[in-house]
């Protein structure tokens, strides 16, 4: 075994997005592409000697090969120890949990989250810091800058190790400990939730369906729900991670998780349904013939947090991303705690969680989590909901309707225009930006604009500023239109249109969502001319 220094040259386009660097497998597996990026990560991290690194991925195509490369490079940079998930598997929240529990200096997660996998699909890599959370923007920008100045990388020439055998092996001076990917995580969940109450729920006949979408959450859900909590075998479907996710799109929304939605629509369907994404950090909650929006899910968990032992002490605050509905703000108001509004991207919650200012966080993009780790957490959200069902003895739909009756309903929808022309998408945003100053006071279809701006955020903890985080057009009655471009896509651009309208009166709570928002959808079209500028008649995905 020897450490080699290999000459290389900068590769364009290695700038991490909302959640790490994501590219097509063909791009990632090109010579020196992965090596260059990993070298830039280690250079940015600084002195890695004697440190512990956590490593794992969502099992997608190229995961195993990439892990061998990262291991050889970690050894060449002097890491003392790597904690590696068996089979190369670790969900994003599990990486966060393992970093925190074992005092690691950071972790590398190989995943492109919910983007499709397989040889023609996407691959990705993200670095998490010592608090267990995603590297902040100044760190990822430094990594990108480093990729553009690279002249060499360091790598051991050691042979591949066996990723499937639990135990410890060495590469150079570095110990690689292959760990059970579920163990530490399951232990943490046991501390947070009332496992006895959930066990009693299953013993009493509650039926659930958890769709692992052939991605990483399957092993976690199977071990915890079926193994520890006694849910009937078969409660977890698509529970074995596959390199191409079975050809599916492992993004838990009503469009991509159609199998689950169909199961939940059956007359004799389960009482509770859920799905998670590629790397296990997202969640979708479904009742029988009833979808729960992620924004409502956050608000409902916050309102009922005391049912779970881990949250009995109360919440310090709630945080939500700007495009997420204001349902959580109403709960925070009722509880007398602050609600923080951050830009899109889980990384913006990190400082608030570290400072003890927020306990629960959530995003409209099917992400919910808390201070237990520094990532959003799919299986955690499922266990929270099961704990809630056990405490309330009501159906999912009844719980949501009761919440609306108490706090009012925030009608909410997101329209995505995927894979549109990048230049055209930029022009659309610029054109709307150009109109912002003139919008306040204007009336569109009965809505009067109260505020129109491009969201910027000053982190209340570290003072860092993020600008151009999404255009918001807020009406005098609080209804909102938000427009932003996705930071996670790998093909063209994706325009996201977020729509929200509040209805206090319970008599107004049964309108089909798209009908309730039809007026606002029309206003968005008038202001942004989405059809003309994207050449699309309708969104590709509506959630």
Q: Which residues bind ligand G6P (CB under 6 A)?
A: 18-19, 113, 321, 344-346, 363, 365, 367, 486-488, 496
- Contact flag: residue 122 with Zn ion (CB under 5 A): no
- Contact flag: residue 43 with Zn ion (CB under 5 A): no
Burial of 326-336, coded b for 16+ CB within 10 Å and e otherwise, reads bbbbbbbeebe
Nearer to ligand G6P, 81 or 496 (CB): 496
**Site map (CB under 5 A) of Zn ion, residues 57-96, x = contact:** ----------------------------------------
Minimum distance from residue 238 beta carbon to ligand G6P (Å): 20
Residue with tokens 């049964």: 510
Mutual angle of helices 327-335 and 396-407, in 10-degree steps: 70
Q: Which of 43, 172, 226, 277 binds Zn ion (CB under 5 A)?
A: 277
279 binds, among Zn ion, ligand G6P, none (CB under 5 to 8 A by kind): Zn ion
Minimum distance from residue 52 beta carbon to ligand G6P (Å): 24
For residue 141, the tally of other CB atoms under 10 A from its CB is 14
Nearest to 369 by CA among 280, 271, 240: 280
Cα–Cα distance, 127 to 45 (Å, whole number): 10
- Identify the bridge partners of residue 292 per DSSP, sorted by sequence position: 285
Backbone phi, then psi, for 360, in 5-degree steps? -110, 145
Minimum distance from residue 277 beta carbon to Zn ion (Å): 4
Number of H helices, E strands in the chain: 18, 27
Query: Tokens in use for 457?
Result: 């955020």
Nearer to Zn ion, 372 or 403 (CB): 372
- Contact flag: residue 375 with Zn ion (CB under 5 A): no
Nearest to 274 by CA among 292, 247, 300: 292
Nearer to Zn ion, 277 or 364 (CB): 277
Q: Where are the alpha helices (DSSP H) in 195-241?
A: 195-203, 217-221
487 binds, among ligand G6P, Zn ion, none (CB under 5 to 8 A by kind): ligand G6P
346 binds, among Zn ion, ligand G6P, none (CB under 5 to 8 A by kind): ligand G6P
Minimum distance from residue 135 beta carbon to ligand G6P (Å): 12
Nearest to 189 by CA among 377, 394, 392: 377
State yes or no: is 96 an active-site residue. no
User: Which residues, 6 or more positions from 294, have their beta carbon under 8 angstroms from its beta carbon?
Assistant: 283, 284, 324, 362, 363, 364, 365, 366, 367, 368
Cα–Cα distance, 477 to 385 (Å, whole number): 31
- Identify the bridge partners of residue 171 per DSSP, sorted by sequence position: 174
Nearer to Zn ion, 126 or 330 (CB): 126
For residue 202, the tally of other CB atoms under 10 A from its CB is 19
- Contact flag: residue 217 with Zn ion (CB under 5 A): no
Nearer to Zn ion, 281 or 296 (CB): 281
* Of 91, 113, 295, 297, catalytic: 113
Nearer to ligand G6P, 278 or 287 (CB): 278
Minimum distance from residue 276 beta carbon to ligand G6P (Å): 12
**Residue 155 in contact with residue 3, Cβ under 8 Å?**
yes
533 binds, among Zn ion, ligand G6P, none (CB under 5 to 8 A by kind): none
- Contact flag: residue 281 with Zn ion (CB under 5 A): yes
**Residues carrying an active site annotation:** 113
Which residues form the interface with Zn ion (CB under 5 A)? Answer: 113, 277, 279, 281-282
């Amino acid at each position: 075994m020897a450490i080699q220094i290999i000459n290389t040259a900068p590769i364009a386009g290695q700038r991490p997005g909302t959640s790490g660097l994501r590219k097509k497998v063909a791009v990632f597996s090109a010579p020196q592409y992965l090596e260059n990026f990993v070298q830039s990560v280690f250079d940015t991290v600084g002195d890695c000697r004697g440190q512990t690194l956590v490593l794992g991925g969502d099992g997608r195509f190229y995961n195993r090969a990439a892990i061998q490369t990262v291991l050889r490079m970690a050894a060449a940079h002097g890491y003392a120890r790597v904690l590696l998930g068996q089979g190369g598997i670790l969900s994003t929240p599990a990486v966060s949990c393992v970093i925190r529990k074992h005092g690691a200096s950071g972790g590398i997660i190989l995943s492109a989250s919910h983007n499709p996998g397989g040889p023609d699909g996407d691959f990705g890599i993200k670095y998490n810091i010592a608090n267990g959370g995603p590297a902040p923007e100044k760190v990822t920008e430094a990594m990108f800058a480093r990729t553009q100045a690279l002249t060499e990388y360091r790598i051991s020439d050691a042979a591949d190790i066996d990723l499937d055998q639990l135990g410890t092996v060495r590469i150079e001076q570095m110990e690689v400990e292959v760990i059970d990917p579920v163990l530490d995580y399951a232990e943490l969940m046991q501390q947070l939730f009332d496992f006895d109450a959930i066990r009693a729920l299953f013993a009493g006949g509650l039926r659930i369906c958890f769709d692992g979408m052939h991605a990483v959450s399957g092993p976690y859900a199977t071990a915890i729900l079926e193994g520890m909590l006694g849910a009937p075998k078969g409660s977890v479907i698509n529970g074995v991670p596959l390199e191409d996710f079975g050809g599916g799109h492992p993004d838990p929304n009503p469009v991509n998780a159609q199998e689950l939605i169909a199961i939940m629509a059956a007359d004799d369907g389960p009482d509770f349904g859920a799905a998670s994404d590629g790397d296990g950090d997202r969640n979708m909650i479904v009742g029988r013939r009833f979808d729960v929006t992620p924004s409502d899910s956050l608000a409902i968990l916050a309102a009922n947090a005391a049912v779970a032992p881990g949250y009995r002490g109360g919440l310090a605050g709630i945080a939500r991303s700007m495009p997420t509905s204001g349902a959580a703000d109403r709960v925070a108001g009722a509880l007398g705690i602050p609600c923080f509004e951050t830009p899109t991207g889980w990384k913006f919650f990190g400082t608030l969680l570290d400072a003890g200012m927020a306990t629960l966080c959530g995003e409209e993009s099917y992400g919910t989590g808390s201070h237990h780790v520094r990532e959003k957490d799919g299986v955690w959200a499922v266990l929270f909901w099961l704990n809630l069902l056990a405490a309330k003895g009501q159906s999912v739909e009844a719980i949501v309707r009761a919440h609306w009756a108490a706090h009012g309903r925030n009608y909410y929808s997101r329209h995505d225009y995927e894979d549109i022309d990048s230049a055209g998408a930029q022009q659309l945003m610029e054109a709307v930006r150009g109109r912002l100053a003139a919008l306040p006071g204007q009336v569109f279809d009965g809505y009067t604009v109260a505020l129109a701006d491009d969201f910027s955020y000053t982190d209340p903890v570290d003072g860092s500023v993020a600008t151009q985080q999404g255009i918001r057009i807020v009406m005098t009655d609080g209804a909102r239109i938000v427009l932003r471009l996705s930071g996670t896509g790998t093909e063209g651009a994706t325009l996201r249109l977020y729509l929200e309208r509040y209805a206090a009166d319970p008599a107004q709570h049964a309108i089909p969502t798209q009908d309730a928002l039809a007026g606002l959808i029309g206003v968005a079209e008038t202001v942004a001319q989405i059809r003309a500028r994207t050449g699309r008649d309708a969104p590709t995905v509506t959630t």
